[in-house]
Amino acid sequence: MNDGDIQVFITCVQRYFESIKRDVVVVIEPPFIKDEEKPFLEYTGIIGISGKTRGAVCFTANGVMLESILSFLNEAPINRNVICDLVGEIANTLSGNAREEFGKDFLISVPIVSTGKNVRFQFPSDSRNYVIPIIWQGEKAYLLVCLT
């Protein structure tokens, strides 16, 4: 994983948020590296990565943003189960889309969903941990890319 590879995930984020509603702008702030504490928000979808590289890709957001996305998708009623389903699906979509560049040996797991800031997942100790800040509808989310 290097600085150039992170652009692949930025493209995936851009595509995902544009698909929700084209005229709602998504702002992607410059990614940064954070090897210590990861900035988890209320809901986190985690995709385990194996194959040529290993680690995890996580999408983390607060309920307000996820409820907004569900409203745009005309989903009703909105409850905690649906929010958890969505955060896992977003993580799955962003990780799976990255195979456009990384190929079929970039193997993705089914989503694991965690709530709260205390996320239990064994991240590899030798991964480089990039954080991509995402602002949409005035709410912040992060895509964490933790890959060897």
Partner 1 sequence: MKLLIVDDSSVVRRAIERDLESGEITEVDQAATGEDALRLYAAKLHDVVTLDITMPGMDGLTCLDKIIEINPEARVLIISALRDKATAIDAIKRGASGFLCKPINPPELKEAFKLLIED
CB-based contacts of 55: which residues, under 8 Å, 6+ apart? Answer: 1, 48, 49, 123, 124, 127, 145, 146, 147, 148
User: Quick check: 117 and 40 in contact, CB under 8 A?
Assistant: yes
Site for partner 1 in 106-125 (CB under 8 A): 106, 108-110
Q: At its nearest, how many Å lie between partner 1 and the CB of residue 147?
A: 17
Cis peptide before 77 (omega within 30 of 0): yes
Q: Is 55 in the site for partner 1 (CB under 8 A)?
A: no
54 binds partner 1 (CB under 8 A): no
Binding-site size, partner 1 (CB under 8 A) = 30
Question: Least distance from C-beta 117 to partner 1, angstroms?
Answer: 24
Q: Is 142 helix (H, G, I), strand (E, B) or coil?
A: strand
- What residues make contact with partner 1 under the rule CB under 8 A? 15-16, 19-20, 70, 73-75, 81-82, 85-86, 88-89, 92-100, 102-104, 106, 108-110
